[in-house]
Amino acid sequence: MPTVGVFAAIFDDQRRILCVKMNYGPKSWTTPGGKLDRSNESPIEALKREAREEANCHIEPKRLIGIYCMPSRDDIVLFMEAEMVEMGEWQPNDEISEIGFFSWNELPSPMDSKSLTRIQDAFEGRTGLVRILDPDLDSE
């Protein structure tokens, strides 16, 4: 069974993207998201849940930017642009240590190349992509 993840490109009014810093594993920056629960959770439900858990924001998914695959690892990521509906007060937790909105030329580091590829696609307004990623690239 492949692992399926969903991540959100959430932009503010200044066209900066919301990034979160993981508090585990490589402790790198990415966009809000994660794996689908095995309990028949839809990608849209998972995306909304992850945004709420990681950044205390309520979102409405708008369009699919792309599907990012690593067939040799049986891994698929759906990356969707989402509109911010409401953002509550946020505090660090076991999963996420920092959050913030960043312009393309001010993205935080460390950030793995897969996240950077997805974020670049979002900033460039791409949609409907299918990308096969190199399994030797840094992992999330």
Confidence (pLDDT) at 23:
94
Q: Record the pTM.
A: 0.93
Confidence (pLDDT) at 38:
72
Distances (CA, A) of 133 to 11, 67, 81, 87, 88: 24, 10, 20, 32, 34
Q: Using one digit for the tens of pLDDT, what is the confidence trace for 22-55?
A: 999 889 999 999 999 877 899 999 999 999 999 9
Map out the domains of the chain as residue ranges.
Answer: 3-132
Low-confidence ranges of the chain (pLDDT < 50): 139-140
Confidence (pLDDT) at 138:
59
Confidence (pLDDT) at 137:
60
Residue partners of 132: CB distance under 8 A and separation at least 6 = 69, 70, 71
Distances (CA, A) of 73 to 86, 92, 101, 119: 35, 31, 31, 22
Confidence (pLDDT) at 139:
46
Q: Domain 3-132: give its CATH code.
A: 3.90.79.10
